[in-house]
A and B are shown apart, each in its own frame.
Chain A
């Protein structure tokens, strides 16, 4: 492994090359890089080891301050880290699943400032000041979120891999209905004023979550029960 000083110098040189017009930026990044490096060595981030190779492949580090499941976290991260990888690899919050890593399946769905997003396409570095809720924070055994309870009651899964994403989506969907938000089905059915949670609406609004097991009938049943206010 490169000595700390070598690595620091390399990072600093990169930063000043990347932002020649912003001397202040370079200084701030220098500080970030230094603290980041210390922390990276401390937690043994995989990228610290190959940073010595070439200038172009040296990781750029940044400090991140965000709230996850109600807990403030200050973290040094490689700018390339997605929210999904941050959760799973750095914070051991493995409830969020990686299905495709390209926004195509919804297994990684989490709530960002209360709205559902795909964490696999969200760069963690963009989230300073944000609030993230994962399946672990939505509810816990003995204190399940209504969406979690509805999936249990209606057997809304088989292998369970897509389930955390499905449940986060379902939780967000409830709020979207309450806010009167629309879907393409609302237009197709001519119900663009506070649409009701019909089966067709639910299917459309859950379509960002794919279930390889095909547990769809029970997923729809769970979400229907949830939208009707009842859980069982």
Chain B
């Protein structure tokens, strides 16, 4: 690990100023950043600790939603009574991620920004990774790509500077998409709000960029809109072992029900794309329909339109469809919380 200067910031504006210096990074729980520093993937020269800025509160908003501070720990958010009651989908997704120890450390902001688990990105022994070394190509395309993307990826061949088939590994983020969360950030020029769906990026021609956040912008927290899926939601995560493993495919499903009919739906997938994959088309396909298997299958087919896999991950296309159907079925049953 390279040497770095450590600063414990006492206020948001000093933290932002400190982060404007070249090579500086914010530090949340450190569970991703410190890990990647040990691997030599990240090498900040200054770490600005943002755990003491009073961003650790979960509070109701005037609009009837909730504001979650950027440094609220994943375990505290998952166990917050108002979140469990009104946004059980978020609690459930958080608790499906990592381990109790890691959730005690990980923060809301850090989780939003956690980087891909692509093996070739995390291992500097592989020279080709457009995300780590822009322009170097993509080792995953013709490598072992079991955990990689089937939707929205850039695939122009292994040597192309644009190719990237990495996935966003977060569970929390998938629920945030289905819930329509908004990320609140502050930079040197002031604050802005970014809908979570516009926060993360697809690789496009710049796979080195995961999000639209600028390096000197601090995540203050996340605003959740008033709850619509409190009664009918489900987070379903499919993986190689039942706990303490990243998703191969996951689905966050929320339904607003009117008797047996779906009034509105939130649907997002994890493990299949460079960002949580929210299918607005699938959400529309659910609205106004009876909550039954035919409706769910139709939505699943719509959500996976255009999907295509590789040597080791082609199974994800069918798995994602089945996971959507099952998650929607469980959400409709209303067994959660």
Give chain A's interface residues, CB within 8 Å of chain B. Answer: 14-15, 18-22, 25, 29, 56-60, 62, 78-80, 82, 101-103, 106, 109, 112, 115-118, 121-123, 125-126, 128, 169, 172-173, 176, 179-184, 186-187, 190, 192, 203-205, 207-210
| B305 on interface, CB distance cutoff 8 Å | no
Q: How far is the CA of A4 from the CA of B301 in the complex (A)?
A: 69
Residue numbers in A under 8 Å from B104 (CB-CB): 112, 115-117
Contacts known (A58-B3, A78-B3, A208-B100); A122 close to B35, Cβ less than 8 A: no
Determine how close the nearest CB of chain B comes to the CB of A47; give it in whole angstroms: 8
> A182–B27 contact, CB under 8 A?
no
Q: How far is the CA of A192 from the CA of B31 in the complex (A)?
A: 27
Contact partners of B46 in chain A: CB under 8 A:
18-19
Number of contacts between A and B (CB, 8 Å)? 140
With an 8 A cutoff between CB atoms, is B195 at the interface? no
B86 at the interface (CB under 8 A from A): no
Interface centre among A18, A62, A78, A190 (most CB of B within 10 A): A18
What are 23 A-B residue pairs whose CB atoms fall within 8 Å in the complex?
Answer: A18-B46, A21-B18, A21-B20, A57-B3, A79-B5, A79-B6, A80-B1, A106-B101, A116-B100, A116-B101, A116-B104, A117-B105, A118-B31, A121-B30, A122-B30, A126-B6, A128-B8, A169-B100, A182-B84, A182-B91, A187-B91, A187-B92, A187-B337
The answer to whether B95 and A183 touch across the interface, beta carbons within 8 angstroms, is yes
Determine the residue in chain B with the shortest Cβ distance to A173.
B100
Least CB distance, A94 to chain B, in whole angstroms: 20
- CB–CB A56/B3 < 8 A: yes
Contact A125 B6 (CB under 8 A): yes
How far apart sit A166 and B30, CA to CA, in the bound complex (Å)? 22
| Residue of B3, B23, B95, B96 touching A80 (CB-CB under 8 A) | B3
Contact check, A79 vs B244: say whether CB atoms are below 8 A apart.
Answer: no
Are B75 and A208 touching (Cβ within 8 A)?
no
| B7 and A123 contact, CB distance less than 8 A | no
Q: Known contacts being A60-B5, A207-B243, is A109 close to B101, with CB within 8 Å?
A: yes
- Chain B residue nearest in CB terms to A183: B95
Chain A residues within an 8 Å CB radius of B20: 21
Which residue of A20, A118, A180, A203 contacts B101 across the interface (Cβ within 8 Å)? A118
Partner of A121, one of B31, B100, B244: B31
Residues of A within 8 A of B4 (CB): 60, 79-80
Query: A192 near B102 (CB under 8 angstroms)?
Result: no
Interface centre among A14, A102, A121, A204, by most B CB within 10 Å? A121
Determine the interface band of chain B, counting residues with CB < 8 A from chain A: 35 or more
Interface: B63 (CB within 8 A): no
The answer to whether B2 has its CB under 8 Å from any CB of chain A is: yes
Interface secondary structure of B, over-half rule: mixed
Given known contacts A187-B91, A187-B336, A190-B335, A79 and B3 CB-to-CB distance under 8 angstroms: yes
Closest approach, in angstroms, between the C-beta of B34 and any C-beta of chain A? Answer: 5
C-alpha spacing A128/B95, complex, angstroms: 29
CB distance from B326 to the nearest CB of A (A): 13
Determine how close the nearest CB of chain B comes to the CB of A60; give it in whole angstroms: 5
A122: contacting residue among B105, B243, B244, B335, CB under 8 A: B105
User: Which partner residue on chain A sits nearest B104 by CB separation?
Assistant: A115
Chain B positions 232 through 257: 1 when the CB is less than 8 Å from some CB of chain A, otherwise 0: 00010000001110000000000000
Indicate if the CB atoms of A182 and B78 lie closer than 8 Å: yes
Residue B59 is within 8 A (CB to CB) of chain A in the complex: no
Q: A103-B35, A115-B104 are in contact. Are A208 and B2 (CB under 8 A)?
A: no
Chain B residues near A25: list those with CB within 8 A.
Answer: 7
For chain B, residues 1 to 59, give those with C-beta under 8 angstroms from any C-beta of chain A: 1-8, 17-18, 20-21, 23, 27, 29-31, 34-35, 38, 45-47, 49, 51
Query: Does B329 sit at the interface, judged by CB under 8 A?
Result: no
Chain A nearest CB from B217 CB (Å) reads 17
B221 at the interface (CB under 8 A from A): no
Cβ-defined contact, B105 with A182, below 8 A: no
Whether B142 is near chain A, meaning CB under 8 Å from some CB there, is: no
Considering the chains assembled together, what is the distance between the CA atoms of A176 and B243 in angstroms?
A: 18
**B-side contacts of A102, CB under 8 Å:** 35, 38
Q: Judging by beta carbons under 8 Å apart, are B3 and A22 in contact?
A: no
Instruction: Find the residue from B30, B100, B336 having the highest chain A CB count within 10 A.
Output: B100
Say if the beta carbon of B99 comes within 8 Å of chain A: yes
| Binary contact track B88-109/A, C-beta < 8 Å → 1, others 0 | 1001100110111110110000
Which residues of B are found within 8 Å of A82, using beta-carbon distances? 34
